[in-house]
Amino acid sequence: MGVVKLADYRQPESHTEQQEATSMGFVSIHRQFMDSRLYKDSQAVHLWLHLILKANHEDAIVKTDIGPVTVGRGQMLTGRPTLVSETFIPDNKVRSLLRTFEAKGMLNISSMGKKFSLLTIVKYDDFQSKNCPTVVQRLSNEDPSNNEALSEDCPTVVQRLSINNKYLNNNLLPKGSKYVAAVGEQSLDKPHRLSCEEVWNTLRECVPDARGWNTLTPKRRQLIQKFWREAKPIAKQLGDTEPFGMQAFRQYLEYIHVSCRWMFESRPDQKTGKTWQKRNYEYILNAELYAQVREGERDDR
């Protein structure tokens, strides 16, 4: 059977009702995180930010297969398959990062059976203040006053503004406010331009067993760009609804790393007596190979 959607080879488990972080609104990220070694790992930053955003701001009752569970402030019910599907970070990387977060005292993980766990962000209250930024609260008041005391929680209208940021613009906030994006930073919908360095780093991350490069030469950059141009129409013909991009490229690499192990092993050839070397990046960045992998013709036999 052909592989049309690479993401289909791993499916998240369904174990609880959809849990949303209560009292959606602002969260705080302390700059201290930049001093951590984890900050140099983009997937670690992604997962940690995702956990902070998903954690409950207030206590809530969540219905599960084992009955109602109280999920407190700074906690969430989830499992690795769910985190993988929400972040597109590989399962083995999610597992490793969760262990690292726990070992560093950033996270507590309590198993709730075989299907999910209760995750608790340590020191959540130390960093997630219940107070709104002063400038934002004053905007939400009908009669703004510099002497008005701050309330404990963000007003609902401000929380909605923080979620639907198309209203959070220069017309709502004071000119020059630190909560307003600078000119040139406000548009988040600009198409992402291909970065050869990003492709190179993704190759090193997803297929570490392949023979790689120590530097990006002009010829190698051209190879990346050529592969990108040729892979786009192939993905479209195979039924992809989204244009070929970094997410699809990452799924392609993760798939061959799991299902096409022959590419990453040095195997003896009984006929010639020679040893076939494991494949390199040039071999992987080939549109014909990409099509054959998508059709299931390159899986381990």
Give the pLDDT confidence of 65-78 residue by residue, as tens digits. 778 888 988 899 99
Q: Percent of the chain at pLDDT above 90?
A: 35
**Using the 8-state DSSP alphabet, how is residue 62 labeled?**
E
Q: How far apart are CA 22 and CA 70, in angstroms?
A: 13
For residue 68, give the H/E element and its range. strand 67-71
- Residues 207-260: tens digit of each pLDDT: 998 999 999 999 999 999 999 999 999 999 998 888 899 999 999 999 999 999
Q: Select the more confidently predicted residue: 3 or 212.
A: 212
When the pLDDT of each residue in the chain is averaged and rounded to a whole number, the result is 76
- Give the tens place of pLDDT for each residue, 167-213: 334 344 444 444 444 444 444 444 456 789 999 999 999 999 899 99
The pLDDT value recorded for residue 35 is: 82
Task: Categorize the per-residue pLDDT at 6 as very low, low, confident or very high, splitting at 50, 70 and 90.
Answer: low
Q: H-type helices in 209-266, by residue range?
A: 218-237, 246-259
Structure confidence at residue 144 as a pLDDT band (50, 70, 90): very low
HSE (side-chain half, CA atoms, 13 Å) at 224:
21
Contacts of 227 (CB under 8 A, 6+ apart): 285, 286, 287, 290
pLDDT at 68: 87
pLDDT tens for residues 115-131?
788 999 998 887 776 55
Q: What pLDDT score was predicted for residue 132? A: 52
Over range 10-28, report the average pLDDT: 53
Q: What is the pLDDT of residue 30?
A: 76
* Radius of gyration from C-alpha coordinates of the chain: 24
Tokens representing 295 are 């059709």
Q: How far is CA 146 from CA 63, 138, 158, in A?
A: 44, 8, 18
**Proportion of the chain in helix, strand, coil states, percent, rounded to 5:** 45, 10, 45
Q: Cβ–Cβ contacts within 10 Å for residue 88, how many?
A: 15
**One-letter amino acid for residue 115 of the chain:** K
Q: Is residue 118 within a helix (H) or strand (E), and if so which, with residue range?
A: strand 117-121
Please tell me whether the overall predicted TM-score, pTM, comes out greater than 0.75 for this model: no
pLDDT of residue 159: 46
As a whole number, mean pLDDT of residues 101-120 equals: 88
pLDDT the model gives residue 19: 53
Which of the four pLDDT bands, split at 50, 70 and 90, describes residue 151? very low
Specify the domain boundaries for CATH 1.10.10.10 within the chain.
6-127
Kindly give the pairing relationship between strand 75-78 and strand 267-268: unpaired
Q: What is the pLDDT of residues 285-300, one digit of tens each?
A: 999 999 999 998 988 8
CATH number belonging to domain 6-127: 1.10.10.10
Question: Are the C-beta atoms of 266 and 14 separated by less than 8 Å?
Answer: no
